[in-house]
Amino acid sequence: MCVWSRSFAELAFLAGCSLIGSLAAALLYVAVLHASLSPTDAAYGQGLGQVLSDPFVLQIGGGIALLAAALGFLLSVLCLRGRNLGACAVLVLSSVALVILVVTPFSLRAGFIGSFVALFAAMIYCRHSRAPWIRG
């Protein structure tokens, strides 16, 4: 089956999940980062809304989220052909969120890189899984 033979609805679902998921992951990453700040940090004590309204956070976080959305969309088009898209979306987004929540408080870099590793690993799992709830 050619990648381009997917229905528009499937592609729109994958694009929407990629965009919303990457923005949610970026927001979660910033929230976990904010919650784990040390008292000596300049942003310590600021509200999350104030941190999110910082132009630097918006530009860098938003740009990375958009790049992650594009990467996630391309990967999902290749990996999730013939799969239950809803179940795979839940598995992928949950995996990324879990890594951000668990790893980021200990290491910012590992949380960031680990979220992409979780994205790839969950997509590959969905592609090769024989689980009936994943198979489309």
Q: What is the 3-state secondary structure (H, E, C) of 12-43?
A: HHHHHHHHHHHHHHHHHHHHHHHHCCCCCCCC
Could you tell me if 48 and 2 are in contact, meaning their C-beta atoms sit under 8 angstroms apart? no
Q: Give 14-41 pLDDT, tens digit per residue.
A: 999 999 999 999 999 999 988 888 888 7
Phi/psi of residue 135, nearest 5 degrees: -65, 135
Q: Express each pLDDT in 108-135 by its tens digit.
A: 999 999 999 999 999 999 999 999 999 8
pLDDT of residue 34: 87
